[in-house]
Amino acid sequence: MREIIEPFRIKSVEPIRFTTVEERRRILEEAHFNPFLIHADDILIDLLTDSGTSAMSAQQWGAMMVGDESYAGSKSYFRFEQTVQDITGLRHIIPVHQGRAAERLLFSLIGGPDKHIPNNNHFDTTRANIEYSGATADDLVIDEATNLDSTHPFKGNLDDKKLKAYIEEHSPNRIPAIMLTVTNNAGGGQPVSMANIRQVSQIAREFGIPFFLDACRFAENAYFIKLREPGYEHRTPREIAQEMFSYCDGATMSAKKDAFGNIGGFLALNDDSLAERARNLLILTEGFLTYGGLAGRDLEALAVGLEEVLDEHYLEYRLACTRYLGDKMNEAGIAIVQPPGGHAVYLDAKRFYPHIPPHQYPGQRLVVELFAVGGIRSVEIGSVMFGKRDPETGLESPAKNELVRLALPRRVYTQSHVNYVAEVIREAHAHRDAATGFRITKQPQFLRHFTAHFEPLPN
Ligand code: F0G
């Protein structure tokens, strides 16, 4: 097979800033060893997230110039609506400023005390919006997903047996929705198979429960299906995406991922009455029906992005990027979540630093080292983010895994950037024995990872 190349040429570039080791040490001290508190200008390669960080195409920038900024009935909205309807087949398309706004609209209408909402794995904002409504959010992903080394091709699948038992336990009338996140971000960016989407939708239908997709990375999921699921090799990504959506009653979407948007999202629904109530709420907090908190130019850019993301050459390249970085880690004997996900590679910090116990945050050490050694920003997904702290005793129970996510922004970094990232990780690995853990010196009550302060522990 020929080399898979970047399916674009670069027309506009942005400089990245090099710093010295001494500068980076000072920057880390000033940021209290929390990369969220580092100025983006001090980062050489930013792998914090793939959300809102994509490079837009010349076509997208061009479309922005024709954005219609009318308050009501904007032509840009109708273009956006048409594009989303063509891909999803869903009737009502409600624009919002980002994914969590779609979640807030949906769950403030269907959530509430005594309600239960299952998913393969809820993303944090989804869980938070469900819980904020008073409902309970549960994860029913297949057991293989908890084995970091399992190379199951669809580790994002939802377990149908767990789902049936769950429906029996809580009764269908207390389950206002069943969700599937494609790809499963909280579970390592792993895809869900078409067979699983079909099966979950059949179960939902059988019990009269609406079925929703969290569709942030639907195109990456569609391409995984093409690569890995027999019967789909000759289907186009658009056809596969259309089939995925054909099984659902609605979808939430952060267009900051697979629509190449810097901002944006939508809630798509088939239910007329639910859509009407969602639109009334939209007007109350987001904006009028035809802009929902976005500018007309944003809607134009998203409409173009949603077409571009389904290009085969793009998706082939996109999945090759994470696979390439994953292969480099495998060759170096550095443990990652297998197989590499669609948008990110997850390093296993527990095995990187076996001598640092979870309550001394090995993932935080790895995140700090990647910046110290090479100016790379990544994010800890372990006990800093998910460790549960008893507010009375201050004692903490660790997270299940200690991971570090390296999320690749779309169309932003080239192969040599990825080679550099792999080199920096290998260098940190070579010096792993000398690394120590951290102590948290300051933390807020909720979502502490964003603002906590850390202090390195002595050797
Ligand atoms: N659902 C999933 C699966 C996500 O990954 C995200 C965001 C959201 C919903 C919320 O969308 O940020 O537009 O409000 N994920 C980002 C990330 C933040 O870094 O993985 P949003």
Residue 173 lies in a domain: yes
CB 318 within 8 A of CB 220: yes
Q: What is the pLDDT of residue 459?
A: 85
Show which of 270, 288, 308 is a domain's final residue.
Answer: 308
Q: With H, G, I as helix, E, B as strand and everything else as coil, classify residue 442.
A: strand
CATH of the domain at 418: 3.90.1150.10
Q: What angle do CA 179, 184, 190 make, to 5 degrees?
A: 140
Question: Do 355 and 219 fall into the same domain?
Answer: no
Residue 345 lies in a domain: yes
Q: What is the pLDDT of residue 184?
A: 96
Question: Do 295 and 316 fall into the same domain?
Answer: no
402: Cβ below 6 Å to ligand 1? no
| Residue of minimum CA distance from atom 18 in ligand 1 | 51
Q: What is the pLDDT of residue 392?
A: 81
| Residue of minimum CA distance from atom 12 in ligand 1 | 99
Q: What is the pTM of this model?
A: 0.96
346 vs 148: CA distance, rounded Å: 10
Show which of 247, 281, 308 is a domain's final residue.
Answer: 308
CATH of the domain at 105: 3.40.640.10
Q: What is the pLDDT of residue 214?
A: 98
Question: Do 154 and 284 fall into the same domain?
Answer: yes
Show which of 276, 293, 308 is a domain's final residue.
Answer: 308
Task: Show pLDDT as tens, one digit a residue, over the chain (459 residues).
Answer: 899 999 999 999 999 999 999 999 999 999 999 999 999 999 999 999 999 999 999 999 999 999 999 999 999 999 999 999 999 999 999 999 999 999 999 999 999 999 999 999 999 999 999 999 999 999 999 999 999 999 999 999 999 999 999 999 999 999 999 999 999 999 899 999 999 999 999 999 999 999 999 999 999 999 999 999 999 999 999 999 999 999 999 999 999 999 999 999 999 999 999 999 999 999 999 999 999 999 999 999 999 999 999 999 999 999 999 999 999 999 999 999 999 999 999 999 999 999 999 999 999 999 999 999 999 999 999 999 988 877 788 788 999 999 999 999 999 999 999 999 999 999 999 999 999 999 999 998 878 999 999 999 998
Q: Which ligand 1 atom sits closest to the C-alpha of 379?
A: 19
Q: What is the pLDDT of residue 393?
A: 81
Q: Which ligand 1 atom sits closest to the C-alpha of 254?
A: 13
267 exposed, middle or buried (CB, 10 Å; 0-12, 13-18, 19+)?
A: buried
Residue of 257, 343, 377, 404 with the most ligand 1 atoms within 8 Å of its CB, for mutation: 257
Question: Do 365 and 267 fall into the same domain?
Answer: no
Question: Do 343 and 366 fall into the same domain?
Answer: yes
| Residue of minimum CA distance from atom 19 in ligand 1 | 49
156 vs 180: CA distance, rounded Å: 9
- DSSP state string for 280-316: HHHHHHT--TTTTTS-HHHHHHHHHHHHHTT-HHHHH
List pLDDT tens digits, range 25-41. 999 999 999 999 999 99
* 104 CA → ligand 1 middle, Å: 13
* 407 CA → ligand 1 middle, Å: 12
Question: Do 95 and 243 fall into the same domain?
Answer: yes
Number of domains the chain is built from: 2
100: Cβ below 6 Å to ligand 1? yes
Question: Do 361 and 412 fall into the same domain?
Answer: yes
346: Cβ below 6 Å to ligand 1? no
Question: Do 156 and 126 fall into the same domain?
Answer: yes
Question: Do 219 and 342 fall into the same domain?
Answer: no
Residue 11 lies in a domain: no
371: Cβ below 6 Å to ligand 1? no
List pLDDT tens digits, range 301-336. 999 999 999 999 999 999 999 999 999 999 999 999
Residue 111 lies in a domain: yes
Domain coverage including residue 43: 21-50+312-456
CA atoms within 13 A on the CB side of 387: 27
User: Across the chain, how many H-helices and E-strands are there?
Assistant: 16, 16
Residue 266 lies in a domain: yes
Question: Do 154 and 116 fall into the same domain?
Answer: yes
| Residue of minimum CA distance from atom 11 in ligand 1 | 99
Q: With H, G, I as helix, E, B as strand and everything else as coil, classify residue 180.
A: strand
242 vs 251: CA distance, rounded Å: 13
Residue of 98, 103, 214, 216 with the most ligand 1 atoms within 8 Å of its CB, for mutation: 216
